[in-house]
Structure 1
Amino acid sequence: MKKQAGDLLVSSDEEEEEMSTCLPSTSGTSKPSEMTAPPKAPEEPASATKTPEGSIETMGVKLSGFNTDLTLKFLNGQISFNEFSAEMDNLHQVETTREAGMETDGEDLEPGATEQEEEEEEEEAGENAMEVDSKDEEWSPAPRKRKRKHMKKRRKKTELPKHLQGLMGEANLKFARGDHQEAINMCLEVIRLAPQAIIPFQTLGMLYEEMGDLEKSLQLYLIAAHLWPNDPEEWARLAHMSKELNNPRQAIACYSKAIRCDPSNPDYIWARCNLYEQVGEHTKALEGYQSILQLMTVSGADAEDYWRLARDTSRAYLELGDLTNALSTLQKACKSYPNLITSEDINTILEMQISQKIFVESLELLVKFCGVVFEFEKFNWSCESLYVPDGLQDGRLLPVKCTAPELLPIDLRAKLIVCMIHLKHHKIVEPLMQPLFEENIEQVGDLYLDVAEAYMENALYSEAKSLFSVLVCSSTYNEAAVWLKYGECLNCLGELENAVNSYKRVVDLAPTHYGARISLSALQQQLGNSSDAVKALTIPAPSEPGQIRQDHILLVHKCHLLYSLDRFDEFYECCQQLLFGHVKEEWKPVFRKVIFEFMSRRSRAESLEYFYQHIGGKDYFMETSISTDDIWDIFLMLCRGLWERKMYNQLLDACIHGLTNPQILTDEEKYKEAEFLCLIACIQSRNGKLAYNLIREICVKDIDNNQAWNLFNQVIICSSDGRHNRFCLRLMMKHPDNLALALFNAHNSMVSGTYKHSLGEYVNVYRKQPEDPLLNLCIGLAFTHMACQKFSSKKHALLVQGLSFLNSYVELRGECQESMYNMGRVMHQLGLTYAAVFYYKKALALPPAVGEREGLFDLSQILCHLRSTMKRLQPP
């Protein structure tokens, strides 16, 4: 119920509590003077801290609100202005969406129809009923109609509440009297009670600006601007302050806000573009200039100003390499204000259109603005035509004649000729060429070159040759680039001798031009001049890194040429420069150590990179224009050539250094192949120590591969140390079921004389593969060796078991040189000479198992040496 006390009207207990929050709390009864007194400034330090209740204190005053934490982070420098602005925009968007939803829900309800209002209406009706005269007791009132109350206009959250306006006025008075600290404390108190109000932040900004703290002042102004973001002039003022404080990024953000509020103001866009140029974001600056051009078109600005800005913008796009936007900018200007276009503008547009192969539009521009006329069989195309003839691009419509004004600038005439050549209308351009020939070639030689290149692109080499022949005779255009084009033209015409002379001229003028040298070498090959072809690919020692990369391209072609000519010695030297140019003679031991001590590709690459950075003094993985496939092909060619010539030591060096090549090292598949080639080279050069390190890793990675174990055996044969014994034993512990490891351990025991151990290993394998001839032979030999020992017992039993397995071996293997020779050797060892002679004779009578191929290992040569032995073994 409403209570009236003097002039003070309080609606309810809730409103009393709301009024009490505006005043400092007191104990007992408060005096009127005490109630209206402003709160005292707190004495805490001006810093932001977290309290246990979760509120935030800043400058001694506790603040609360939906964005207070964000505001404090910005004031304390924990977040940048751009982050603060983005978060505030998100909060505004969420708040706007929520308010829109509340307004939509409120349309379905009757304003004022809450329970509290219904109770108040019932009480008022009761009071009115008490005033009814007693004479009207019999009167019964009609049903009460509910009064529809109009909803009061909601106060904006950014406006200051009425109960805080007095405190804010007191703060302004303190500010005017110069009591800055007291005014600051009062503003902070207002912010605590109404954190979304604009006025206290603006007042605080003015206070700090008066005190000389411009950085703090700007921060508070920015918060106020975010609370009411629809004032473009305020954003522009803040952007100006940001520029004065040397914060262009923040100024850009402020101008963006101003442009969002007032997008039709070009001054804001101009200022932001200047700032974008200042911070180096030229693309965004050009987007702003495009917006200004659009505004100038809508507002009908001065045409000369529009053209001036369009030219500058197009030129900036060209500097950035954005040809599309540069062309569209000038085309829009041409469409908006065609009366102010100049010949320079037309020339610029034509250059961009020709570079983008837009030839029909180029002709349209020349027809419309330069007075060019095309005559067709049934009509003419001129500036008075309303449309562009259809069929020019695909050649369905061919002009009969083309007429150009005599006063047409020569550069525009040349571009007209170029467009017509590209559109296959070259037959009617001869009359247009005459004025070009009348000009001084020293001054317009670039136009000659454009026309000649257009002829070459359309395979009109004879016409291009006449123009190039004139250009190369001039003093200004007697350059390598022109001679190169001339040589290409002559080569296409089949004039090889003249083309060779042209390319020689290019090489003389530009010795490091690798393209000309490659073409010259190819022509010399066609003419049969192999020596000259090789010479063309040889240049002096490079002096720059870029020249080194070009020299590599020449070396690739030179290697292929020398290999095809079978000049292997020169090919080998060329490969040394190309593949192993990163290896110095004194570094070779280091590289060999890296390859054979570090087994993984990654560890080798890291070791080599460290070596080059700290010892070599250069970048190991230097960029090169040679592809990995080209390097790999030449590496294989080198290995094949060395293998065919049985140069195994050189092959080993080539493989080791190939493993250090950066391009091979970065390709996993090719690196595996190069590593295998290195293993084969080690075996062929009988370098068992190096080969063992490689084959060991292969066997560990692919332990079930029989071919890997066969190679392991080959390495053991050519190796002189016994490291493989310990390796096989350790690996057998990890893989006890591996048959290859069991055989290797058995063989090692057999060679070392521990026949019982070897017999145990052989028998374990025999249980799994009883039909293997080799196992039967090895078991028979183990029994035989044990029987031949001096102190062995039961020799007869051992011998019988051994011969049993040897007979099984002969049955499984069949009668051949190998089986008969092995049986003869066993009998020879046992002292049974008659039996040995018998088997030796049978071995000599049988044909070789490997045929008659040359260079293959068989037993014929060994058996020939046994003939004299057989004579001694036979009884007299």
Structure 2
Amino acid sequence: MELINYGGYRKKTRKLNKKRGRRKGSKNKLSPGVTKMLGEASLQYAYGNFEQAISLLKEVVRLSPNLPETYNTLGLAHSALGNHKSAFDFYVIAAHLSPKDSALWKQLLTFAVQKGDTAQAMYYIRQAIRAEPKDISLRIHLASFYVEIGDYEKAAESYEQIQKLFPDNVDATKTGAQLFLKCGQTARSIGILEEYLKVHPSDADLSVIDLLVAILMENNAYEKTLQHIEHAQIVRFSGKELPLKLKVKAGICYLRLGNMEKAEILFADLQWKNAIDHADLITEVADTLMSLGHSNSALKYYHFLETNAGTDNGYLYLKLAECYLSLKERAHAIMFFYKALDRFEDNIDARLTLASLLLEEAKEEEAITLLSPPKDLDSLDMNSDKSNPWWLNEKIIMKLCHIYRAKGMPEDFVDAIFPLVCESLCVEALRQKVKVKRRLTKGILQQRTKIYNNLPTDSILCGIRPAAPKSELLVAARARKKIQKKEALKEEKKALAKAAGVEWHSDDTDDESQQEAFREPPLPNLLKNEENQCLIIDLCKALASLQRYEEASEIINLSMRLAYNILPLEKKEELRSLGAKMAYDSTDPNHGFDCAKYILQLHPYSLSAWNCYYKVLSRMGKINSKHSKHSKFIRYLRAKYKDCVPPIIISGHQFTMASHHQDAARCYLEAYKLLPENPLINLKRLN
């Protein structure tokens, strides 16, 4: 029995100790001949016999094509001979055959960066990171590439990975948070900072706390901000005084939450003596107080800055002016607005606000001077790359026009606003005349596929994605498909034309001429804004008062044509009445003839309307025109309003002038039957 047990135990032991798997050693054991050739090639390379080394290595590749050392040595030999393209290709093969060799990937990365090939550089750096995941410099380099191409989310994720691998890296934590914030992912930005604070509760970097507090406050999370500041005071600054910046931030949070008393206690360390050292904090406190309506308190902090900031702080003067304006202290507000405009003369809003203040103080002439162009325009340096000067701004001109209109200065009013209105109406008319096809032109499509142009065409690597964010890649892919579809359709049309035996003409004009980029009108909402519609009417009245009837009629006609479906009925009536009146008063009534006709259609029994129409008609010389619009119009009115006498009399006059006396007599008789007591009709009938 003991022998049996012993034998069974020995058998079981051998089974347990048996090793599984392949025996240790090389998977692809090289033949002695290949090993010898590889050694000889290395020796030839070492002696500088590069051609002989390359010849031997080619034979090694033929016999054993999967040896990375062979391709690496081939790369070295070709590089020594100056064949950098071939050397680079052999390095690429060597790296792919030994993917865990990070040194090879780093070498390829260096070459790609030197060539300026971002797409390949990003590919190589990702491979290097797979080979050496804990190399922080590689990850930072990859993140910088993502920032360079504008893919901030990928860059932020790279820094997030660095922070997870190296929790003590403050720069990676802060940069990742800022990049998440830049691509709109606030929650992830806050999360990466809070994760750092969890790992470093008592030795957290102060800049990380400051950044977290700033992001939370920017998103109105004031209670959560206070929790983090209180936690930092207990854990990070235990037994120490809280830094002034955090105290002020806490005070601003209390201020936003309505606890003014607690906020004032925390702001106590901010005084005019240290205003220079803490100007940003004082400005933030004052701006917060101002936004919450505590103008008196804000004024105190602004004056701290004024005492120490010198005389060149235009932004501070603007804030002081706005503060005094909210306190209804106009004199001080005007003074500081003038000081601010001395530094920022192109600030349109400040200039307009100051003009309104001057008008409230009944200083119209001063307001006009403020809004008028400088008198010494010739001496000013009008830089061509600078935007339009402040006096050509639409809002400035409109404000000036309102002042001229209120003061009853029609000539100045017209001179200021007429060029803008005329140009705006002409631009709108041109836009309606030229119908732009709403389709992507070939030029736009090619612009969208531009990211494919930078891909290398001579590389042995295929399928590397262009260096661009995912959104741009999707747009580029769609554009490329659209171009391919257009080209295929073009070839199909060409083949059909050839088969039909006709000459083929390409219709691919690219629509560039039709899609001409029209300039924006100076007054973009001229016809849609009710206030601007009233301005047009006032302009036409002013032009009429200055006897500039032709220009006024042109504006009326353009406005009616461009905005017929937009203008309210009362505005249309007013414009037409104005046009008819101008036609009556003008020596050249052609422009107002349609308005006079329209007024007559509205009031067919009004003698004053008929008198206006007849006077316009007489001046135009159409009273005896047999085939004019007038004749058709009169026939239309006679047919529609059979009991209306004036069109019958006018027809009689027309027949009389044409020497058609019988027709004229019939008209006068018809009028007599309707108005037998009218002496004029009786006189005409007797004649």
Deviation at 1:425, TM superposition (A): 0.9
State the partner residue of 1:149. none
Q: CA-to-partner distance for each residue in 1:777-833, whole Å, 9 max, x for gaps?
A: 9xxxxxxxxxxxxxxxxxxxxxxxxxxxxxxx8x99358454477579879845699
1:813 aligns with 2:642: yes
1:557 aligns with 2:399: yes
Letter in 2 for 1:640: I
State the partner residue of 2:226. 363
Q: Would you say the 8 A contact 1:334–1:341 is kept in 2?
A: yes
Q: Distance in 2 between matches of 1:368 and 1:479?
A: 38
1:294 aligns with 2:164: yes
Q: Would you say the 8 A contact 2:527–2:533 is kept in 1?
A: no
Change (3 A) 1:557 1:630: farther
Q: Which sections of structure 2, spanning at least 5 residues, go unmatched?
A: 1-20, 45-50, 437-515, 594-614
Q: Distance in 1 between matches of 2:432 and 2:251?
A: 66
1:537 aligns with 2:371: yes
State the partner residue of 1:258. 128
Deviation at 1:548, TM superposition (A): 4.0
Q: Would you say the 8 A contact 2:290–2:298 is kept in 1?
A: yes
Q: 1:198 pairs with 48, 58, 66, which one? A: 66
Q: 1:488 pairs with 313, 322, 343, which one? A: 322
Paired residue secondary structure (2:389): helix
Letter in 1 for 2:676: A
Paired residue secondary structure (1:434): coil
Give RMSD over aligned pairs: 6.0
Change (3 A) 1:454 1:424: same
Q: Would you say the 8 A contact 1:575–1:638 is kept in 2?
A: no
Paired residue secondary structure (1:367): helix
Q: CA-to-partner distance for each residue in 1:506-526, whole Å, 9 max, x for gaps?
A: 344543322222222333444
State the partner residue of 1:573. 415
Change (3 A) 1:449 1:623: farther
1:336 aligns with 2:199: yes
Of 315-324 and 287-296, more deviation after overlay is shown by 315-324
State the partner residue of 1:426. 260
Q: Which sections of structure 1, spanning at least 5 residues, go unmatched?
A: 1-152, 192-196, 298-302, 373-381, 385-404, 584-590, 604-618, 693-713, 722-743, 752-761, 763-771, 778-808, 848-859
Paired residue secondary structure (2:293): coil
Q: 2:310 pairs with 476, 479, 500, which one? A: 476
Deviation at 1:258, TM superposition (A): 3.0
1:239 aligns with 2:109: yes
Higher relative contact order at CA 8 Å, sep ≥6: structure 1 or structure 2? 2
Deviation at 1:426, TM superposition (A): 0.6
Letter in 2 for 1:845: P
State the partner residue of 1:116. none
Q: Distance in 2 between matches of 1:502 and 1:250?
A: 58
Which residues of 2 match residues 383-782 of structure 1 at below 5 A?
407-437=241-271, 439-476=273-310, 479-538=313-372, 540=374, 543=382, 544-545=386-387, 547-548=389-390, 551-576=393-418, 578-579=420-421, 600-601=433-434, 627-629=524-526, 636-644=533-541, 646=544, 650=548, 652-653=550-551, 684=583, 747=627, 774=635
Q: Would you say the 8 A contact 2:318–2:340 is kept in 1?
A: yes
* The structure with more radius of gyration: 1
State the TM-score, normalized to the length of structure 2: 0.59
Q: Distance in 2 between matches of 1:749 and 1:317?
A: 71
Letter in 2 for 1:361: K
Q: CA-to-partner distance for each residue in 1:413-451, whole Å, 9 max, x for gaps?
A: 322322211111112334444332374444444433322
State the partner residue of 1:855. none
Paired residue secondary structure (1:545): coil
State the partner residue of 1:845. 676
Paired residue secondary structure (2:133): coil
Change (3 A) 1:406 1:517: farther
Deviation at 1:686, TM superposition (A): 7.9
Change (3 A) 1:452 1:459: same
Q: Distance in 2 between matches of 1:268 and 1:309?
A: 13
Q: Would you say the 8 A contact 1:442–1:476 is kept in 2?
A: no
Q: Distance in 1 between matches of 2:565 and 2:32?
A: 83
Q: Distance in 1 between matches of 2:292 and 2:519?
A: 40
Q: Would you say the 8 A contact 1:453–1:464 is kept in 2?
A: yes
Paired residue secondary structure (2:92): helix
Letter in 2 for 1:219: D
Q: Distance in 1 between matches of 2:402 and 2:73?
A: 81
Deviation at 1:293, TM superposition (A): 1.9
Letter in 1 for 2:74: L
Q: Would you say the 8 A contact 1:239–1:251 is kept in 2?
A: yes
Paired residue secondary structure (1:519): helix
Letter in 2 for 1:341: A
Q: Distance in 2 between matches of 1:268 and 1:527?
A: 66
Change (3 A) 1:475 1:407: same
Change (3 A) 1:339 1:644: same
Change (3 A) 1:690 1:175: farther
Q: Distance in 2 between matches of 1:491 and 1:476?
A: 22
Q: Would you say the 8 A contact 1:556–1:578 is kept in 2?
A: no
Paired residue secondary structure (2:248): helix
Change (3 A) 1:838 1:166: same
Change (3 A) 1:668 1:323: farther
Q: Would you say the 8 A contact 2:421–2:523 is kept in 1?
A: no
Q: Would you say the 8 A contact 2:100–2:131 is kept in 1?
A: yes
Deviation at 1:554, TM superposition (A): 1.6
State the TM-score, normalized to the length of structure 1: 0.48
Q: Would you say the 8 A contact 2:210–2:246 is kept in 1?
A: yes
Deviation at 1:209, TM superposition (A): 3.2
Deviation at 1:273, TM superposition (A): 4.4
Q: Distance in 2 between matches of 1:650 and 1:812?
A: 36
Q: Would you say the 8 A contact 1:484–1:503 is kept in 2?
A: yes
Paired residue secondary structure (1:429): helix
Q: CA-to-partner distance for each residue in 1:488-511, whole Å, 9 max, x for gaps?
A: 333333444444444344344543
Letter in 2 for 1:813: K
Q: Distance in 2 between matches of 1:665 and 1:468?
A: 54
Paired residue secondary structure (2:298): helix
Deviation at 1:256, TM superposition (A): 0.6
